Amino acid sequence: MTVPRMTQYAGGGGCACKLPPGELDELVAALAGSAPANPAAELLVGLDGGGDDAAVVRLDSERALVTTADFFTPVVDDPYDWGRIAAANALSDVYAMGGTPWAAVNLLAWPRETLPLEVAAEVLRGGRDVAHAAGCQVSGGHSITDAEPKYGMSVVGLVHPDRMLRVDAAVPGSALTLTKPLGSGVLNSRHKATGTVFAEAVEVMAALNRDASRAAVEAGIPAGTDVTGFGLLGHAYKLARASGVTLAVDAAAVPYLADARQALADGYVSGGTRRNLQWVAPHVEFGSAPESERLLLADAQTSGGLLLTGEIAGHPVIGEVLPPGPSPVVVR
């Protein structure tokens, strides 16, 4: 089977194809504040504060159900790798809450007249393999015909209601830890334009956030989020805003994938990254950080790491949580 370049079938790619964060904020605000007349379960985490990584409802005093969904257009040309990355990204929302994924169903949109179904099977196989590596069951799902291919998963998991990672629980005096390097956005843009494969970026995007999430919960870390389409600065701003704190980011401590800075210098910056920076800039004190550094910190990530308000072994501390100040985020 001759596999076409998957990224050429979509206008965007990966989490860079998300709605702009400012527009999404307005949509979320319009939905917040409503509740069912007779709820079947208590909502622990919902849309308050601009929304978290997943919704959480209480089952009992020791168990809560985590539910989320995530899908996107091809981020790499290899269909199996795209499936792996999309599944890791969807599962990450459960890990970002401190939970364990239990079961998932596939979400597939496919241009069946232009892309063989054998290619779709490879995408699904990649997603299944990553979910199974996470101990998560995969069974069925939903598919539609679409002009652009899209793939992801709806995932449910379990978390202890008193040991969650939340965006509204950051405490001043805590360290700020990032568990995956940045730079997937600019490298994916270069890949889409040139076909150059960045093996390190593929493996980082396909890697689960499971171990980092478990370590954070065991360490008693109360707050965190995953870094995806809104970039490090965008997700840091959402965390700071929900918690009523300031996050200080030490730019020199932030890790990057190899070749990321060169890809930026060569102009491979997605529209999503530029929209991220435009949205977050009024809420960030940049100091003397140059435009290049600002773009990398706002780079739209796909299946990025966890941003945690505490230290865990093996991952770099990139800043700290401060009391609320003039700007929710400070770049030093």
Active site residue 15: yes
Q: Among residues 226, 235, 187, 233, which one has the least CA distance to residue 304?
A: 226
Residue 116: count of CB within 10 angstroms of its CB: 14
Q: Which residue has the tokens 């491979």?
A: 268
Identify the burial level of 189 via C-beta atoms within 10 angstroms of its C-beta, where 0-12 means exposed, 13-18 middle and 19 or more buried: buried
249 DSSP assignment: E
Structure tokens at 114: 């232009």
Q: Which of 6, 9, 14, 15 is catalytic?
A: 15
Q: Which two tokens stand for residue 30?
A: 């319009």
Give CB contacts under 8 A, 24+ apart, made by 276-281: 276/21, 276/229, 276/230, 276/231, 276/233, 276/234, 276/300, 277/231, 277/233, 279/20, 279/21, 279/22, 279/230, 279/234, 280/21, 280/230, 280/231, 280/233, 280/234, 280/237, 280/329
Task: Report how many helices (DSSP H) and strands (DSSP E) the chain contains, helices first.
Answer: 10, 13
Please tell me the number of Cα atoms within 13 Å of 104 on its side-chain side. Answer: 36
Catalytic annotation, residues: 15
